[in-house]
Structure formats: structure tokens, C-alpha cells
């Protein structure tokens, strides 16, 4: 049998010096080592078998938890938007890490118990208090991480389902924009609660701390009005359907597609890949180019030598051809508007018009129109404005007179 822990030294109480507690622990370790050394082979094999079962049980518990989270990922987790190779966003990553650590510590303590380590005298001392606090803190962390990941999963799933039932693509994008904002708020609240509970386990009085935090928060609120303004502005931008993820917008001199909207910033991805990040307080005026519908606007500068009525007829015919084309028919939602001669400059007559399209389709419709109008004008003999084209006899004669004057020795009379 294993010798019991030495009885002369009782367990140290919280009021005893730390050296007494250390001596008690040292005595338990010595007793534990001597007990293992005195085991006969049969007892050692039996306890080794129990140790193996405990380790296997802990491994099976971790494996089962991982399998459960993987099954939840395959069933209810949203699709992975950033990496097409990954079908689903993994869930429970931090939960499984904390659980693995806690299970590992529990297995270690059970194994020590199997081999004869006695915790009875240590439970009432400082070491037992430390182990109790560590256990409760680990439990708080486990529950907090699990709650954060499960609530974020639930929020993402809820908004994904709402987005699928949305009446149009824009409303779906707006709903998807709200998901990360609400998830960030929930995560922040749970982290603050977990931090308060952890501090209370270490003996910190959280009542005065909460009161002080309220006063400090009020002071910070006055000093961080821009931060609060950014947050509230972002919420109202989404709720009022001003902008959402996927919109093509312009803020100041910068344009791009809205890639992400956080609690206080909006991120634009430019055509060349540059990412522009704006706090909402700096986005005073937002030009949304994909709200409800768009216009493919064209301005054609026609030479003075061309027949304007013929140019207008060719322009209208090209616009009607594009509207009847199967590749662009679904993108154009209204007949072409040929406004006529919009301006007369020093070098050209400007014809202006537009095609009403679905939001985001105006650019590809305009590119197709530009290609077709060039071919049509070339075929019909309509000339675009050209600054070096001698449109009048004056422009033909004056270069010749200037050249003759340059060739005369005295510069001309």
C-alpha cells in the first residue's frame, strides 16, 4: 500500500505563513515519491493501466468535442466567403483550445490522484485556494469563448437567412452588413463581463470598479466624441440603407467598392486594389453609384463637318441595338434617352444621352456602347471631333502662310 501523507504537519490555513504551506506541499511530494517507489510490480501495472484509461478518456473527450464542433460547422455554419476552397467557416476554435487546456490539467490531476497524491490536506491551504481560483477562471473563460462563438454563429446564421429572403440583392447586402456590427457589439459586451468576473475571482471588488469605470467612461465619452460619432453614424448609414457592402461609392476624391464596414470605419477597395479606410466622421458626403439604378451616360463630340441629324439617328439606333441584345437586355431597364445637342465647343458639337440600367451595370453598358458607336460612326461617315483636322479654309491657308514667312530671310514683308 502507498504510505499516507505525513500527519505531523497539518494543512496550512490561509492565515499561516507561506513557508508552512510550502513545507506541507513539500511533505506531500516526498510522500508521493516514496509511495511510488514502494509499489510492487502488480500495483504499478494496475495504476499504469488506470493512467492509460484516464489519458485515453481525456483524449476521447477532446476528440468528441472537436467532432461535435465540426458537425455543427458542416450543418449550421455560414459559407466561407473569403476563401472559396473552404466551404464553411470553422466554429469553436477558441472554445476547443480552452477546453483542451482544461481537460489536460484535469487529466494531470487525476493521474496524480491515481498514483497516490493526496489533495485532502492541500484543499484548505493557499495551494487549494489557487487551484480553486484557476478552475473557476478556466470555467469562466470556457463559457465566455463558447458564448461568443455560438452567439456570433447565431447572429451570422440569422442574418444570412434573412438575407436569402430579402426582396432584392441590395436589401440582402444591407442585412449582411449588420451582422458583423452586431457581432462586434455582442463580443465586446461578453468580454467585459468575463473580465469583470475574472477580476472578482482574484478578490477585486468590482462594485467600485464598475462605478469608477462609469465615471471614466463618461469622461472618455466627452473626449472621444468622434469615436462615438463614428459608431452611431455607421449604424444609421446601414439602417437608413445609405450604403452597404458591395456598393460602388465615392468619398471625396476616392472611389471603390465597399469591402467591409466595421463599428467605426468603412473600407473601399479601389480598381487597382488599393484599400481606402475612412472613419465614418470623415465620410461627410457619400456618393453611392449603385443605389436602386444607374445611368450609362455618354457625351459624343462630333465634328462640325458631320451631319448632326444623321449622327443623332445613328446614336439612337446603336442604343436600341444594345437594349435588344440578349447579353444586355436584362441590364437595361428603360428606353434610351438621346437628349440631343448638349453643347457647342470651339472644336465640336456635343451629343448627350443615357441608358438606364440596373445598379452596377452602367459601366459595362457604357463600354459596349462606346465600342459600337465607334464602329457605327466609321461605317456611316460620321466624324468625331479632331483638334488637328482642318475644318475650315482658314485652318488650311494659315499654316501655309506661316511656313512661307519662316522661309523668307527678313521674316516677310
> Which tens digits make up the pLDDT trace of 85-124?
555 555 566 677 777 877 887 888 788 777 777 666 556 6
Question: Domain 294-380: which topology?
Answer: Alpha-Beta Plaits (3.30.70)
Mean pLDDT computed over 378-383: 88
Choice between 237 and 188, residue whose per-residue pLDDT is larger: 188
Residue 254 has pLDDT above 50, yes or no: yes
Q: Which of 24-28, 30-34, 38-42, 388-392 has the lowest mean pLDDT?
A: 388-392
Mean pLDDT computed over 382-390: 67
Residue 364 has pLDDT above 70, yes or no: yes
Mean pLDDT computed over 51-63: 86
Mean pLDDT computed over 259-279: 85
Mean pLDDT computed over 345-369: 91
Mean pLDDT computed over 10-19: 46
User: Cell triple for residue 231?
Assistant: 459608431
Mean pLDDT computed over 70-78: 63
Work out the pLDDT band at 247, boundaries 50, 70, 90: confident
Do strands 286-288 and 248-251 pair parallel, antiparallel, or not at all (unpaired)?
antiparallel
Q: Which of 25-34, 177-186, 236-245, 312-321 has the lowest mean pLDDT?
A: 25-34
pTM higher than 0.75 for the full model? no
The domain ranges of the chain are 18-202, 225-288, 294-380
SS (H, E, C) the chain: CCCCCCCCCCCCCCCCCHHHHHHHHHHHHHHHHHHHHCCCHHHHHHHHHHHHHHHHHHHHHHHHHHHHHHHHHHHHCCECCCCCCCCECCCCHHHHHHHHHHHHHHHHHHHHHHCCCCCCCCCCCHHHHHHHHHHHHHHHHHHHHHHHHHHHHHHHHHHHHHHHCCCCHHHHHHHHHHHHHHHHHHHHHHHHHHHHHHHHHCCCCHHHHHHHHHHHHHHHHHHCHHHHHHHHHHHHHHHCCCCCCCCEEEECCEEEEEEEECCCEEEEECCCCCEEEEEHHHCCCEEECCCCCEEEEEEEEECCCCCHHHHHHHHHHHHHHHHHCHHHHCCECCCCEEEEEEEECCCCEEEEEEEEECCCCHHHHHHHHHHHHHHHHHHHCCCECCCCCCCCHHHHHHHHHHHHHHHCCCCCC
Q: What's the confidence (pLDDT) of residue 84?
A: 47
Mean pLDDT computed over 79-83: 50
> Which tens digits make up the pLDDT trace of 183-212?
877 888 888 888 888 888 777 777 776 776
Mean pLDDT computed over 38-63: 83
Q: What's the confidence (pLDDT) of residue 3?
A: 43
Q: What's the confidence (pLDDT) of residue 351?
A: 92
Report for 64-78, 176-190, 271-285: range of highest mean pLDDT: 271-285
Report for 33-37, 124-128, 161-165, 237-241: range of highest mean pLDDT: 161-165
Q: What is the mean pLDDT of the chain?
A: 76
Report for 45-49, 165-169, 206-210, 337-341: range of highest mean pLDDT: 337-341
Question: Domain 225-288: which topology?
Answer: SH3 type barrels. (2.30.30)
Residue 13 has pLDDT above 60, yes or no: no
Residue 237 has pLDDT above 90, yes or no: no
> Which tens digits make up the pLDDT trace of 284-329?
788 888 888 899 999 999 988 888 999 999 999 999 999 999 989 8
Amino acid at each position: 500500500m502507498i504510505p499516507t501523507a505525513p500527519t505531523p504537519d497539518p494543512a496550512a490555513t490561509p492565515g499561516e505563513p507561506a513557508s508552512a504551506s510550502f513545507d506541507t506541499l513539500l511533505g506531500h511530494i516526498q510522500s508521493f515519491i516514496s509511495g511510488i517507489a514502494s509499489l510492487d510490480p502488480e500495483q504499478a501495472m494496475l495504476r499504469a493501466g488506470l493512467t492509460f484509461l484516464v489519458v485515453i478518456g481525456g483524449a476521447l473527450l477532446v476528440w468528441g468535442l472537436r467532432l461535435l464542433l465540426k458537425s455543427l460547422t458542416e450543418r449550421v455554419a455560414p459559407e466561407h466567403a473569403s476563401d472559396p476552397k473552404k466551404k464553411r467557416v470553422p466554429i469553436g476554435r477558441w472554445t476547443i483550445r480552452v477546453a483542451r487546456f482544461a481537460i489536460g490539467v484535469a487529466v494531470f490531476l487525476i493521474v496524480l490522484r491515481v498514483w497516490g497524491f493526496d489533495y485532502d490536506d492541500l484543499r484548505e491551504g493557499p495551494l487549494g485556494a489557487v487551484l480553486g481560483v484557476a478552475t473557476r477562471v478556466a470555467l469562466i473563460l470556457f463559457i465566455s469563448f463558447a458564448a461568443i462563438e455560438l452567439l456570433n454563429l447565431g447572429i451570422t446564421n440569422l442574418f444570412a437567412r434573412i438575407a436569402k429572403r430579402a426582396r432584392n440583392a441590395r436589401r440582402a447586402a444591407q442585412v449582411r452588413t449588420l451582422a458583423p456590427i452586431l457581432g462586434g457589439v455582442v463580443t465586446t459586451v461578453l468580454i467585459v463581463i468575463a473580465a469583470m468576473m475574472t477580476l472578482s475571482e482574484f478578490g477585486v471588488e468590482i462594485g467600485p470598479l464598475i462605478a469608477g469605470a462609469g465615471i471614466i467612461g463618461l469622461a472618455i465619452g466627452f473626449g472621444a466624441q468622434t469615436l462615438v460619432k463614428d459608431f452611431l453614424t455607421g449604424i444609421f448609414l446601414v439602417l437608413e440603407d445609405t450604403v452597404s457592402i458591395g456598393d460602388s461609392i465615392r468619398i471625396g476624391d476616392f472611389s471603390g467598392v465597399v469591402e467591409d464596414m466595421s463599428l467605426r470605419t468603412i473600407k473601399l477597395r479601389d480598381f487597382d486594389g488599393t484599400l481606402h479606410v475612412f472613419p465614418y466622421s470623415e465620410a461627410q458626403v457619400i456618393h453611392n453609384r449603385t443605389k436602386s439604378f444607374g445611368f450609362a451616360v455618354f457625351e459624343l463630340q462630333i465634328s462640325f463637318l458631320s451631319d448632326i441629324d444623321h449622327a443623332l439617328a445613328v446614336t439612337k439606333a446603336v442604343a436600341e441595338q444594345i437594349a435588344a441584345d440578349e447579353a444586355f437586355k436584362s441590364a437595361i431597364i428603360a428606353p434610351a434617352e438621346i437628349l440631343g445637342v448638349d453643347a457647342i465647343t470651339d472644336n465640336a458639337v456635343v451629343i448627350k444621352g443615357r441608358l438606364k440600367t440596373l445598379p452596377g451595370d452602367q459601366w459595362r453598358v457604357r463600354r459596349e456602347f462606346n465600342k459600337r458607336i465607334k464602329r457605327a460612326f466609321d461605317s456611316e461617315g460620321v466624324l468625331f471631333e479632331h483638334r488637328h483636322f482642318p475644318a475650315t479654309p482658314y485652318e488650311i491657308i494659315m499654316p501655309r502662310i506661316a511656313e512661307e514667312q519662316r522661309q523668307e530671310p527678313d521674316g516677310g514683308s
